[in-house]
Chain A
């Protein structure tokens, strides 16, 4: 699902005739990569799709027949609708939150002077160097029960009267996911900010625009493609996230990834797990490709 990172490449202008000829020549050069891709991505994927049509029984195990049983179950049992709805909701709220927090963060970072910028960039990107599991366990400790640090702090500040449940709630999952995903948003917006011509802001200033107008009418529209491609990355990573929902959400709050995991490893109902995984993948591909097409059409003039 990290394929999302490559889907936002700006459209290149139509190649001229000699360029096209040159680009066709080394086609065989990508053959090894193509073979590898087929071997480790396409074949297992096809096998998973096939698996989702197999039958399964508590005592007979997997039966290699073609039935729609799993798909029928997912389509009719409201449990799956609720679970997929929760997955999308968590991913969507996480995406919006990272965008709202990450875009200003990147902007402020970009305005800082050299040394401070280095320090803060390290602070923001540093978490990428730590395992997601370790980071999420950290949140679990902060959230943990009525005695969790987060609740103690909020209560001592007088913001809440009684402890809020964080563990095993969507709120908790979203908070931890926002923290995990933030670097991707900041990096994406940061890259867009780097491409801004600083003279453009000067030009707006010389035409009489104040700082807020420049931010709203000049900077934001140009950075928007960066925010949106960051959003696509964060959304697809959040929707398919496993470690964070598994640790914070626990066994009670299932999302698509943790459910598929459970079917595979606990129930041993591989075909049903495969159906859940395939549906998640299809849904994500649809959303990401659709969003990407929208971004490219809407911002064709801005993307450099």
Chain B
């Protein structure tokens, strides 16, 4: 996955943006620089302030503090209708009394694009989202997925400087959602439109984004590439939210060379840390081996292409995921030893909760 170089001047900049509703702080100290062509995801649980942030960028909400800049220009006093952003709403918000083509054409009419060019661009936009031939359908006569595509075409046809998507796929069923994810990514790549996607689905954020902004309670927990945030979560929250993880209480023992010890498992410790630490490993990075953290398989669950083991260890419960590669696997009640490579774990100061 390529990360656009950070040296390019940012297209969109949020500088210590905050939003309070009365005494309730919905977003706090939000700073982010989005490079041209980048695909950014805001990822976090419901109510963490994703939509609020997006609405401030769109201009439907005024920030309580901080500034938002687009191409270096302060957006604060710019009306939403003059920002030139493309927005896809969670409810799609199509114009119910207009056909698909009329919906898509609306933005172009507002820009006073000539009729012939309008017709051509509407046709191309609908074809791009796979809706050629649906020009004269009304939204009510379309499926959720098709309405979603019309909304996307309507937002993209005006060639927005930034495309804002608020949980656009959350109303679709799982299979359609996966198809739309792939399509969305392809369209975004082809057009090179800078995109911000709001989602609470970690899989969606991981598979689509160049960078993920992990949010919790109105604050940024971490900004990084999908791999970064998954493999080196900056906080317990980020680790828990981006897929399952195992937290073990461990200690840094001895000095030069210090070792990190979790029960029967140990490895050389990184410099600069001491005392109790929390050691975090993803379930699929743990293997069963001759030596390591001793434990016992409490439950073994078959899940088709992989096995899920729930183990009891002396450092607490652990989940282990092994691919179903046809080799024999430990059974329930069997004593095992868990091991992982030092580079597969992340460490945080303080004991596990």
Contact = CB atoms under 8 A, between A and B. Distances in A.
A199 interface: yes
B288 interface: no
Which of B60, B80, B91, B96 gathers most chain A CB within 10 Å? B96
B97 A205 contact: no
A208 B97 contact: no
B110 A202 contact: no
A302 interface: yes
A204 interface: yes
B134 interface: no
B81 A209 contact: yes
Contact of B138 (A203, A222, A301, A304): A301
Interface stretch (B82-90, B190-198, B303-311): B82-90
Given A199-B89, A213-B110, A205 B95 contact: no
Interface residues of B, number: 30
B58 A222 contact: no
Nearest to A210: B81
Given A203-B89, A207-B158, A222 B96 contact: yes
Contacts of B80: 202, 205-206
A298 to B, nearest CB: 10
B189 interface: no
Contact of B81 (A200, A206, A304): A206
A111 to B, nearest CB: 16
A279 interface: no
Nearest to B110: A208
Contacts of B154: 203, 207
A207 B96 contact: no
Interface in A277-302: 299, 301-302
The interface size bin for chain A is 20 to 34
Contacts of A199: 89-91, 93
B106 interface: yes
Which of B97, B110, B155 gathers most chain A CB within 10 Å? B97
Contacts of A209: 81, 106, 110
Given A200-B95, A222-B96, A302-B97, A207 B110 contact: yes
Contacts of B95: 200, 203-204, 218
Interface in B137-166: 138-141, 154-155, 158
Contacts of B141: 301
Interface in A188-236: 197, 199-200, 202-210, 213, 217-218, 221-222
A232 to B, nearest CB: 20
B241 to A, nearest CB: 27
Contacts of A205: 60, 79-81
Nearest to A201: B93
B49 interface: no
B111 interface: yes
A206 B60 CA distance: 9
A202 B60 contact: yes
Contacts of A203: 87, 89, 93-95, 154
A200 B106 CA distance: 12
A206 B83 contact: yes
Contact of B96 (A204, A206, A301): A301
B44 interface: no
A221 B139 CA distance: 15
B321 to A, nearest CB: 40
Nearest to A198: B93
Nearest to B157: A207
A213 B111 CA distance: 13
A229 B96 CA distance: 18
B107 interface: yes
Given A199-B89, A203-B89, A208 B96 contact: no
Interface string A24-59: 000000000000000000000000000000000000
Given A208-B107, A208-B158, A213-B110, A202 B81 contact: no
Nearest to B60: A202
A204 B80 CA distance: 10
A202 B93 contact: yes
A200 B89 CA distance: 9
Contacts of A206: 58, 80-81, 83, 85-87, 155
Interface in B33-92: 58, 60, 79-87, 89-91
B130 to A, nearest CB: 21
Contacts of A202: 58, 60, 80, 87, 89, 93
A207 B82 CA distance: 9
Contact of A207 (B97, B106, B138, B140): B106
A302 B90 CA distance: 20
Contacts of A204: 95, 106
Contacts of B60: 202, 205
A218 B81 CA distance: 15
A213 B112 CA distance: 13
A299 B141 CA distance: 13
B195 to A, nearest CB: 15
A209 B111 CA distance: 9
B91 A197 contact: yes
Interface in A155-211: 197, 199-200, 202-210
A167 to B, nearest CB: 44
Pick the 7 closest A-B CB pairs, nearest first.
Answer: A208-B110, A207-B107, A199-B93, A301-B138, A203-B93, A221-B97, A206-B87
22 contacts: A197-B91, A197-B93, A200-B94, A200-B95, A202-B60, A202-B80, A202-B87, A203-B94, A205-B80, A205-B81, A208-B81, A208-B107, A208-B111, A208-B158, A209-B81, A210-B81, A222-B96, A222-B97, A301-B138, A301-B140, A302-B96, A302-B97
